[in-house]
């Protein structure tokens, strides 16, 4: 499937790359296959979603670190009644080249959504 998508990515540049992994095995398997078949992507915005913090290392293996201008991490946690708690971390570089990420600003927040309605976030869980 990856071979079908890669020809459509011009010069391996994307505005946004979003990856969501449900477990460690699928995370590692995707990384290994991607690295075999593609050079690192040049991405403006990187979004990593997962039920474990281990998904955060996607950037170091798949994406050209210098090209990223915004990193967004979502750690998902299932709760009762199909509610999912999402811990957000948005990271924006404040450094200068050549080490853009030497200093950065991070914004942390928590939101909730009902499973299957991920595009509708609320500040407090709805019952």
Answer with the residue of higher pLDDT: 1 or 11.
11
pLDDT, one tens digit per residue, over 47-61 is: 888 777 665 566 667
Q: What is the Cα–Cα distance from 76 to 74, expressed in whole angstroms?
A: 6
CA angle 26, 71, 52 (to 5 degrees): 35
- Does the model's pTM come out above 0.85? no
pLDDT of residue 42: 84
pLDDT of residue 108: 92
pLDDT at 127 over 60: no
Q: What is the Cα–Cα distance from 3 to 80, expressed in whole angstroms?
A: 39
pLDDT of residue 126: 52
């Amino acid at each position: 499937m990856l071979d079908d998508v890669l020809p459509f990515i011009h010069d391996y540049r994307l505005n946004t790359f979003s990856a969501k992994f449900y477990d460690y095995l699928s995370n590692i398997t995707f990384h290994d296959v991607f690295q075999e078949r593609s050079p690192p992507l040049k991405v403006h915005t990187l979004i990593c979603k997962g039920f474990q913090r281990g998904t955060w290392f996607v950037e170091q293996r798949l994406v050209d670190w210098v090209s990223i201008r915004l990193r967004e991490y979502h750690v998902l946690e299932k709760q009762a009644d199909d509610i999912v708690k999402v811990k957000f971390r948005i990271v924006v570089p404040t450094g200068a080249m050549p080490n853009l990420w030497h200093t950065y600003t991070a914004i942390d927040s928590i939101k909730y959504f009902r499973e299957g309605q991920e595009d509708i976030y609320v500040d407090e869980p709805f019952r």
